[in-house]
C-alpha cells in the first residue's frame, strides 16, 4: 500500500511540477505491470478528447501501467462493442464512458464481474451499477447551462432559443439535453429542438450550415444552446459569422473548453462554456482502476464539473487550455 500511495502522490506531483511540459506527442501510453483499456470518446486529439487523453496518459506513465486507448467517434453502439472487445482480452481493468447506458451495458458489466475484471466509469454515469464514477451529473449540468444562458442574455418568457443536441435516449448527451430543456421549461422560455446528426457528431463542422439555416429562418432567435458536444460548441462563432450576426448579438453556450473555444470567447462570439474538466476525467479513472484492480478500493465518485468560462475569466485559464489541462 505504501508503494501505491507514493505512486499516486507522485502522479499528482508530476502534473503540478512539470510532467505536462511534455508535448502531446511525447505523452503517449507506456507499458507497465497492469493493463487497462480506456474509452476516450471521439477522435484522437480532437477538441473534446485531447485533455482526457493527456490526463489518462499522465496517470498511466507515473503509475506504470499499460494503457490501451479506444476511440469511437462518439458512437454509443461502438462504445458497447469496444467494451466487449476489451473484456475478451481479459485486462486488469476497463474504463468505459457509460454509453449507451446502464440497461444496454448490464450484460457487459455482469460478464466483467464473472471474469474478475475491474470496470470504472468516466464521463456518463451508470446509475445502479455500483461502479466508481468520474464526470458530471449530466442532467444538472445541462440545466445549469440553460440557466446560465438565460441569465447572461436576460432571457425570459416570450424569448425563443434553439437547443441543438441529442434527444434520443441512451445517446451521448441525451441526459444533458434533458436537463437543459427542463430548465427552459421552468423559466417559461420557448425553444426549438434540433437533433444532432451522426455525421455532425463525428464532423462538427457539418453543424454550421444547419444552424445558419435555422437562424436565417428564425431571425428572432435569442440564444443557441449546445448541451454536451465540445466540437460543435467550438464552431458556434463561425455559425454567427456565416449568418451575418455580430459578436454578442445572440447568446451562444455549450460544453468543453478548447483553444478554439477560448479564442471565440475572447472575440465575443461564444458567450459561455461549461468546463467539465476532461483532464480529470482522464486522470482520475486511471488512478481508480489501479486502486480497485490491485487493492479492491472501489466505489469512488468525483463530480468533475469545474465551472463556467466567460469573457470575464477566460484569460485566467487560457494557458492551461493550451497545455491540454483544461
- Do 79 and 11 belong to one domain? yes
- Do 115 and 241 belong to one domain? no
Q: What is the pLDDT of residue 1?
A: 44
- Do 51 and 78 belong to one domain? yes
Lowest mean pLDDT among 24-28, 177-181, 198-202, 295-299: 24-28
- Do 266 and 179 belong to one domain? yes
- Do 13 and 82 belong to one domain? yes
Q: What pLDDT digit, counting tens, does each position of 265-296 carry?
A: 999 999 999 998 889 999 999 999 999 999 99
Helix 314-322 vs helix 259-267: angle between axes, to the nearest 10 degrees?
A: 160
Q: What is the pLDDT of residue 173?
A: 87
pLDDT at 37 over 80: yes
Identify the three-state secondary structure at position 69: strand
Contact 321, 259 (CB under 8 A): yes
Contact 281, 131 (CB under 8 A): no
Angle, CA 57 vertex, CA 278 and CA 94 arms, to 5° = 80
Contact 35, 3 (CB under 8 A): no
pTM for the structure as a whole: 0.79
Provide the CATH number for the domain around residue 294: 3.40.50.2300
In the beta sheet, which residues pair with residue 163?
A: 193, 225
The answer to whether position 199 is within a domain reads yes
- Do 62 and 151 belong to one domain? no
- Do 155 and 256 belong to one domain? yes
The C-alpha atoms of residue 312 and residue 230 are separated, in whole angstroms, by 20
> Comparing 141 with 30, which gets the higher pLDDT?
141
The answer to whether position 310 is within a domain reads no
* Count of structural domains, the chain: 2
- Do 112 and 198 belong to one domain? no
Cell of 40: 476516450
The C-alpha atoms of residue 242 and residue 270 are separated, in whole angstroms, by 14
- Do 288 and 229 belong to one domain? no
**Enclosing domain of residue 201:** 138-275
Q: What is the mean pLDDT of residues 101-109?
A: 94
Amino acid at each position: 500500500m505504501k508503494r501505491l500511495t507514493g505512486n499516486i502522490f507522485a502522479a499528482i506531483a508530476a502534473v503540478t511540477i512539470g510532467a505536462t511540459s511534455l508535448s502531446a506527442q511525447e505523452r503517449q501510453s507506456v507499458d507497465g505491470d497492469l493493463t487497462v483499456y480506456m474509452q476516450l470518446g471521439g477522435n484522437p486529439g480532437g477538441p473534446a478528447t485531447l485533455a482526457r487523453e493527456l490526463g489518462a496518459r499522465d496517470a498511466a506513465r507515473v503509475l506504470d501501467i499499460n494503457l490501451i486507448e479506444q476511440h469511437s467517434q462518439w458512437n454509443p453502439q461502438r462504445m458497447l462493442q469496444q467494451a466487449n472487445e476489451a473484456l475478451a482480452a481479459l485486462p486488469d481493468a476497463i474504463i468505459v464512458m457509460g454509453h449507451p447506458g446502464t440497461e444496454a451495458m448490464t450484460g457487459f458489466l455482469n460478464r466483467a464481474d464473472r471474469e474478475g475484471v475491474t470496470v470504472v466509469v468516466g464521463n456518463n454515469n451508470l446509475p445502479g451499477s455500483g461502479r466508481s464514477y468520474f464526470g458530471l451529473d449530466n442532467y444538472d449540468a445541462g440545466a445549469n447551462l440553460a440557466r446560465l444562458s438565460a441569465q447572461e442574455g436576460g432571457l425570459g418568457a416570450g424569448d425563443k432559443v434553439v437547443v441543438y443536441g441529442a434527444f434520443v435516449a441512451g445517446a451521448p448527451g441525451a441526459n444533458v439535453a434533458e436537463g437543459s430543456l427542463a430548465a427552459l421549461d421552468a423559466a417559461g422560455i420557448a425553444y426549438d429542438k434540433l437533433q444532432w446528426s451522426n455525421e455532425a457528431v463525428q464532423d462538427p463542422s457539418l453543424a454550421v450550415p444547419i444552424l445558419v439555416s435555422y437562424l436565417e429562418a428564425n431571425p428572432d432567435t435569442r440564444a443557441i444552446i449546445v448541451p454536451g458536444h465540445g466540437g460543435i460548441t467550438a464552431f458556434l462563432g463561425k455559425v454567427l459569422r456565416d449568418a451575418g450576426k455580430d459578436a454578442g448579438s445572440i447568446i451562444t453556450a455549450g460544453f468543453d473548453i478548447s483553444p478554439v473555444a477560448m479564442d471565440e470567447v475572447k472575440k465575443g462570439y461564444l458567450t459561455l462554456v461549461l468546463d467539465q474538466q476532461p483532464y480529470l476525467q482522464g486522470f482520475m479513472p486511471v488512478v481508480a482502476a489501479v486502486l480497485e484492480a490491485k487493492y479492491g478500493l472501489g466505489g469512488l465518485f468525483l463530480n468533475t464539473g469545474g465551472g463556467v468560462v466567460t469573457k470575464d475569466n477566460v484569460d485566467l485559464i487560457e494557458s492551461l487550455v493550451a497545455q491540454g489541462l483544461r
